[in-house]
C-alpha cells in the first residue's frame, strides 16, 4: 500500500480523475478523491514518522 500511495503514477491518475470530475461538474467526486488520497498520504507519513509498518503499534 505504501508503494501505491507514494507512486508518481498514482498521483498522476488521481490528479487526472479529479480534473475530470471538476470538468464535468461532479464536485462531490472530486472532493471525495482529494479526501481519500490525502488520507492515504497522511497514513504513509504517519508510518514514516514512527518508523513502523504496522498501524496497531505492536
Domain-embedded: residue 53: no
pLDDT for residue 24:
93
Domain-embedded: residue 58: no
Q: What are phi and psi of 38, to 5 degrees?
A: -65, -35
Domain-embedded: residue 40: yes
In terms of residue numbers, what domain contains 18? 2-47
Q: What global pTM score does this model have?
A: 0.58
Domain-embedded: residue 54: no
Residue pair 43/8 in contact by the 8 Å Cβ criterion: no
Tens-place pLDDT, residues 12-50: 888 898 899 889 998 888 888 888 888 877 776 666 666
Q: How many domains does the chain have?
A: 1
pLDDT for residue 23:
92
Burial 9-47 (b: 16+ CB within 10 A, else e): eeeeebeeebeebeeeeeeeebeebeeebeebeeebeeb
Q: What are phi and psi of 42, to 5 degrees?
A: -65, -40
Domain-embedded: residue 52: no
Domain-embedded: residue 13: yes
Amino acid at each position: 500500500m505504501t508503494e501505491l500511495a507514494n507512486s508518481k503514477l498514482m498521483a498522476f491518475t488521481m490528479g487526472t480523475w479529479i480534473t475530470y470530475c471538476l470538468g464535468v461538474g461532479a464536485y462531490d467526486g472530486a472532493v471525495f478523491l482529494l479526501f481519500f488520497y490525502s488520507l492515504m498520504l497522511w497514513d504513509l507519513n504517519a508510518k514514516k514518522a514512527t518508523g513502523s509498518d504496522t498501524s496497531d503499534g505492536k
